[in-house]
Amino acid sequence: MHVVHLSKVTGIAGSETHLLMLLPGLAGQGIDVTMIMLEDPTRRADDFYEAMAARGVTVERVAIGSHIDLTLTRRLVKTLNRLKPDILHTHLIHADLYGMAAARRAEVRGTISSRHNDNPFRRNPAIRLANQRAMGRADRVITISEALNRFVREVEGIAPEKVITVHYGLNPPDFPANAREEGRRWFEYSGDRPVIGMFGRLIEQKGVDTLLNAFVQVRQAVPDAVLLIVGDGDQRSEMQALAESLGISEAVTFAGWVPQAYKLMPACDAIAMPSRWEGFGLVALEAMGSSRPLIASRVSALPEIVVDGETGLLVPPDDPAALAKAITPVLSDRPLALRLGEAGYRRLVEQFSVDKMIRGTLSVYEDIIQL
């Protein structure tokens, strides 16, 4: 079976990390896999290309000039006619809209769309209409969470019989015994200083401003606490200015983008995820894989991942006081943090393995081929 995956790529974030695990895993199960990258020529995604190629996956690069590219469908048709896949599997909005149209013209046997996020822009009437038309050509829609499954059916109007949930998976990393000390040495943190970490893009979705406001209150209860923010984005300067205005800048480290940032999670005592929405939240699995307790917003898919009071703590979004109230005891009570972190690790292994994700995806492929 030959499956072509199609996605617009600008770097390595959640959906790209997912593809870097899924595609080699499918290849290991005997699937002939090809990755087509839709790529802005002015923002080449060499890091993703090289990472996928290093995993033995064939990658083709196709230029996309803008959101509206009048030649893209035609060029994709030519590429699909040459590759002759049994299934086209699209990811994210550009691949959905252009890929489904191209698959129809190229007479690809089966079509699948994976939905990775419940972005607010998908509620826009024009985008909903375009998306519904594209999904009318899809045989199946894979959602990465049950929350996203509901969103696709109820908000986007996708036929329920087309939609199936296959959760993201992650195999826990093999951290060295001194990972905590090495990470803290890298950031020049003293060994006993309480560290709350946040890992992700600095964009509105991630709620960095909520965390900074909460951290003011955390510092009142835990004066020597520090906040580590690993990631970059268009809000970075704004968030740095906010930390300065709140009087906490000396206790906040903006580390910027770090390759394989999950390796720094053991340096933290807890991980905060104050998102306003999340299709899934791969960072949550990475926190669990590092045996660190997760304090997350009760939004979208996060309650499917975090068992409140057992593997982490859930709080309302956009509520700095609630977030601070949850963070403070985790930083102050080491046994509590250990208990939550260890339970999270066990839940990752039992419920969110890469093998389970691959088997779920393979099952969808087999269903499609039998249609």
Q: Phi/psi of residue 87, each to 5°?
A: -140, 135
**Would you state the pLDDT for residue 131?**
86
Taken as a whole, the chain contains a residue count of: 371
Q: How far apart are CA 40 and CA 162, in angstroms?
A: 31
**Would you state the pLDDT for residue 120?**
83
SS3 category, 270: strand
CATH classification of 2-169+353-369, choosing from 3.30.1450.10, 3.40.50.300, 3.40.50.2000, 3.40.50.2300? 3.40.50.2000
Angle at 166 between CA 307 and CA 149, to 5 degrees: 80
3-state secondary structure 57-125: CEEEEEECCCCCCCCHHHHHHHHHHHHCCCEEEEEHHHHHHHHHHHHHHCCCCEEEEEECCCCHHHHCH
Say if residues 140 and 161 touch (Cβ distance below 8 Å). Answer: no
Tokens representing residue 177 in the block: 């015994």
Domains 2-169+353-369 and 179-351 belong to one CATH topology: yes
Q: How far apart are CA 31 and CA 46, in angstroms?
A: 25
Q: Does the CA dihedral 38-145-127-364 come out positive or negative?
A: positive
pLDDT tens-place values along the chain, 371 residues long: 999 999 999 888 889 999 999 999 999 999 999 999 999 988 899 999 999 999 999 999 999 988 888 899 999 999 999 999 999 999 999 999 999 999 999 999 999 999 998 888 888 888 888 888 889 899 999 999 999 999 999 988 899 999 999 999 999 999 998 999 988 988 888 778 999 999 999 999 999 999 999 999 999 999 999 999 999 999 999 999 999 999 999 999 999 999 889 999 999 999 999 999 998 888 999 999 999 999 999 998 999 999 999 999 999 999 999 999 999 999 999 999 999 999 999 999 999 999 999 999 999 999 999 86
Domain boundaries, the chain: 2-169+353-369, 179-351
Question: In the beta sheet, which residues pair with residue 90?
Answer: 6, 113
Select from 180, 177, 194, 259 the least CA-distant residue to 228: 194
| Neighbour-count burial for 306-341, b at 16+ CB within 10 Å, e otherwise | bbeeebbbbbebebbebbbbbbbebbeeeeebeebb
Angle at 12 between CA 8 and CA 14, to 5 degrees: 90
**Would you state the pLDDT for residue 50?**
95
**Would you state the pLDDT for residue 363?**
97
Instruction: Write down the CATH superfamily of domain 179-351.
Output: Glycogen Phosphorylase B; (3.40.50.2000)
Say if residues 7 and 34 touch (Cβ distance below 8 Å). Answer: no
Give the β-pairing of 252-256 and 312-315.
Answer: unpaired
**Could you tell me how far CA 56 lies from the centroid of its own chain?**
22
Q: How far apart are CA 262 and CA 14, in angstroms?
A: 12
Listed in sequence order, the residues at least 6 apart from 365 whose beta carbon sits closer than 8 Å to its beta carbon are 1, 3, 31, 87, 110, 112
Maximum Cα interatomic distance, the chain, rounded to a whole number of Å = 63
SS3 category, 317: coil
**Would you state the pLDDT for residue 225?**
96
**Would you state the pLDDT for residue 130?**
85
